Amino acid sequence: MIIRLLYYPEVVPMRRLRYAQAILVGAFLFFQALGIVNAQERINVLLVASEIEGYENKIKYYLGNIGAPGDTTMPSLNPVFTVTWYNLYGVASIPELSYLSNYDCVVTWSNFPFKYASNDEYYADDWGDRLADYVDAGGAVIICTFCFNDLRALAGDIFSQGYSPLTNSGVWNRMNWSEFDIPEPESRTDLEDELYADVDKLGCGWRDYCSLESWAGSEHFTYNDGEYAFAYSQDNKVAAINMYPGSAYTDENPTGGHPKTFNCFYDWKDINAGKFPQDEAWKREEMDDEFPEFLRNVILWLVNEYNP
């Protein structure tokens, strides 16, 4: 009966269709609990940033409810990640290596300087050293904006030879909109195919001026204006995404309805001029989910497939 209801939806009232779908969802969860249906093994991801508490909600929500590439059928029932948030803003200490070792991948960024709460001392070097130790122990690290920025920069061993493929160029950050230079599907490399899965358009208004290091892998992605967008180390499981994965300029509850994108999709100049994201609905609509999907693809590739 359920199969019949779903196979001929045009002749079934919407209420009955939703009822049948709810039964299928319940059956999936029941059989999964019994071990008859196996959920895929999730990757443990730690989001670590010097950030305003609460700004991580949308990133955590997206990554915690996203399915595998190409999966558009109830991905939240079988997400690919278990996501944990750790705020480094004004902390007394940074995470120990033993704590980081519980995770397959650490994604880190900054909105504020890396400073301890007790003595106002910077810990950018300490955090960078800890991340390098984590990589040496087999972990994967993704570094995002503004970690390459003079005022909010990350430092330490993670920027030594063989680790982060992008480094601070000695200039402050960009505050202008540009999009990833995404090639057409028929002309993509294998890596581009993998990292651009489900990604048609991607842009950012908050970026850093970066330098590409000699130990970067043979492929890297750029923005249309030539700024580096993504790179990876040829020596370790370290990647850099030159995008700020911070808050979204919307009051919508990320757990209610369809959450909106992060502010990396909006132009800082437009916002300063009083033009908020609602004035550019086409960007918001066409780019919804694009950064989380790109980040998902980078995590999956870095953790599961990349062997430097």
What would the pLDDT profile of 82-125 be if each residue is shown by its tens digit?
999 898 888 888 999 999 999 999 999 988 888 877 667 888 99
Region 45-305: CATH code: 3.40.50.880
Decide if 245 contacts 237 (C-beta within 8 A): no
* CA distances from residue 75 to 98, 199, 234, 256, 270 in whole angstroms, order as listed: 31, 16, 32, 16, 34
Cβ-based neighbours of 113, under 8 Å, separated by 6 or more:
50, 122, 124, 151, 152
Instruction: Give the closest residue to 138 by CA, choosing from 110, 100, 172, 174.
Output: 100
**Percent with pLDDT over 90 in the chain:** 37
Continuous H helices in the chain: 2-7, 14-34, 57-64, 97-100, 124-136, 190-195, 268-272, 281-287, 290-300
pLDDT of residue 57: 61
307 pLDDT more than 60:
yes
Instruction: Give the closest residue to 87 by CA, choosing from 42, 56, 125, 123.
Output: 56
pLDDT of residue 216: 97
Residue 247 banded pLDDT, cuts 50, 70, 90: very low
Cβ count near 135 (within 10 Å): 23
pLDDT of residue 172: 66
Query: How many whole angstroms separate alpha carbon 149 and alpha carbon 128?
Result: 14
Residue 294: cis peptide before it, omega within 30 degrees of 0: no
Query: How many whole angstroms separate alpha carbon 115 and alpha carbon 125?
Result: 10
pLDDT of residue 252: 39
- Backbone region of residue 213 per phi and psi (left: phi > 0; alpha: psi in -120 to 50; beta: other values): beta
215 pLDDT more than 90:
yes
* CA distances from residue 70 to 27, 74, 194, 297 in whole angstroms, order as listed: 23, 12, 11, 11
Cβ count near 185 (within 10 Å): 10
